Amino acid sequence: MNSFFKKALTHLIVVLVLLGITAIYFSPQLNGKVVQSSDITQYLGMSQEVREFKEKTGETSLWTNAMFGGMPTYQINTIQDGNNLRFVDRLSTLGINEPIGRFFAGMVGFYILMIVLGVNPLLGAVGAVAFGFSTNNFILYATGHITKLVTITYLPLIAAGMLLAFRKKYLIGGVLFALGMGLDIMANHVQMTYYFALTLVIFGIAQLVYSIRKGEILDFAKAAGVLILAGLIGVGSAASNLLVTYEYAQDTMRGKPILQKEATVADAQSSSEVEGLDWEYAMQWSNGTIDLFSSFIPGVAGGGSQEPVGENSAFRQELTKLGYRVPADLSAPLYWGDLPFTSGPNYFGAIVMFFFLMGLILVKAPGKMVVGYRYLIDFYVVDGR
């Protein structure tokens, strides 16, 4: 057996193992069970009028009166007609519904990134499982933040494409970058894509400095040109949704102030009094210092704002001493971090964080430290719910 088929067989085995692990973990799905997610329930309520109208007439209404004073439905149901990347998205999940299909797709994407980085398949598979089964991903799925979860699962493809382009593999790097970017934006959680884009820009600057020092500025220019073109293609694939969202945003509190009031930005009481969002409003879901440590120290900021209390917990025992008849399914606010509330901590894993820090020290690569520092910045502003 030649080396190509041997490598292909190895990768196929890894993919099947990842599928098996995901299917076993989410086996209740195979029995027809469904997670009741608060955000999904709210979405069903918001879109009820639109769905009933389509069932009755066969047409898709672009406006609903069921939300606020009325609003465009493309902010509730993402318009994907004509975007054939939806078929690629379906293929990446093997046609399997969430959660099995979605977590599997995320693991495969991260495995591809690991192989691009030169990691052997076994360690790459371990990294893929660690990425897919990150605590935060489970929390996102449980609360119904599906668009955010989908966006995160496609970020590794973007990173892999960028790395390949800078390694002079322009065609495959550009294709993977455009594909990842298109799928990522199609997921319609632009906030997460924006945060990741900041990291890519910083990494690109580090790569530029590295290329100048090595006298490879022409190679850098070629890779940058490919990535810019690929990025435009990826963004263009979702332009029908991005452009109308931008247009609509100008007439919301994200646009110019709608309340006529002579006040400075510091005096503003709401986002309706300033151009764009008020700083406090925009940052209210930013993680605090203790939330940063919760990414690798279990329970340092507590748990969730409504978390099931264990039978042997000190909290339950104290309530019992006080004479309270504690129900078997008691949930309590066990979170004391800086967020207004949360369904659980952004815990990535102490072991994963150890290897992350070890990589920053031992691995020699352009931009490794600046990307590491970028992690700290991203964690402070990422949506902590």
Q: How far is CA 262 from CA 54, 195, 209, 274, 276, in A?
A: 46, 33, 47, 11, 17
Residues 60 and 122 in one domain: no
Do residue 159 and residue 191 come from a single domain?
yes
Q: Check residue 140 and give its pLDDT.
A: 87
* pTM, rounded to two decimals: 0.83
Segment of 35-44, 191-200, 228-237, 302-311 carrying the highest mean pLDDT? 228-237
Q: How many CA atoms lie within 13 Å of 234's alpha carbon, on the beta-carbon side?
A: 29
pLDDT band for 359, please (50, 70, 90 cuts): confident
**Residues 310, 215 share a domain:** no
The strand pairing partners of 72, in sequence order, are 63
Q: Write a three-state SS string for 334-346.
A: CECCCCCCCCCCC
- The answer on 317 and 179 residing in a single domain is no
pLDDT digits (tens, 9 = 90+) for 240-298: 888 888 888 887 777 777 665 555 555 555 656 667 777 777 777 778 888 888 888 88
CA 190 to CA 187: how far, in whole Å? 8
Residue-level pLDDT at 349: 81
The angle at the Cα of 362, spanning 361 to 363, to the nearest 5 degrees, equals 105
Structure confidence at residue 377 (pLDDT): 42
User: How far is residue 249's CA from residue 277's CA, in Å, rounded to a whole number?
Assistant: 11
Q: Which of 77, 108, 138 is the last residue of a domain?
A: 77
Task: Report how far residue 246's alpha carbon sits from residue 215's, in angstroms, rounded to the nearest whole number.
Answer: 41
DSSP 305-343: TTEEPPTT-HHHHHHHHTT----TT-EE--B-SSSS--S
3 state SS of 62: coil
Q: Within this chain, do residues 9 and 93 fall inside the same structural domain, yes or no?
A: yes
Same domain, 20 and 157: yes
Domain membership of residue 270 as a residue range: 254-281
Q: What angle do CA 276, 278, 282 make, to 5 degrees?
A: 95
Report the alpha-carbon distance of residue 142 to residue 138 in Å, rounded. 6
Residues 195 and 49 in one domain: no
- H and E: helices and strands count for the chain: 17, 4
Tokens standing for residue 205: 């600057």
Please check whether residues 95 and 212 belong to one and the same domain.
yes
pLDDT of 179 > 90? The answer is: yes
Above pLDDT 70, what percent of the chain? 88
At residue 6, the pLDDT reads 86
Give yes or no for a cis peptide into 99 (omega within 30° of 0). yes
- Pairwise pLDDT comparison (5 vs 79), residue with the higher score: 5
Structure confidence at residue 17 (pLDDT): 95
- What pLDDT shows up at residue 269? 58
Co-location of 209 and 334 in the same domain: no
Q: Whole-angstrom Cα distance, residue 156 to residue 163?
A: 11
- Where is the domain boundary, 26, 54, 77? 77
Q: Is the pLDDT of residue 352 over 80?
A: yes
Residues 105 and 168 in one domain: yes
Residue 311 has pLDDT above 90, yes or no: no
Instruction: Indicate if 213 and 342 belong to the same structural domain.
Output: no
Q: What is the dihedral of CA 116, 121, 125, 126, to 10 degrees?
A: -100
Determine how many CB atoms are found less than 10 A away from the CB of residue 171: 10
- How many structural domains is the chain composed of? 4
More confident residue, 141 or 344: 141
For position 78, what pLDDT does the model report? 67
pLDDT band at 1 (very low <50, low <70, confident <90, very high): low
Are residues 242 and 298 both part of a single domain? no
Segment 117-125 shows an average pLDDT of 89
Residue type, 368: K
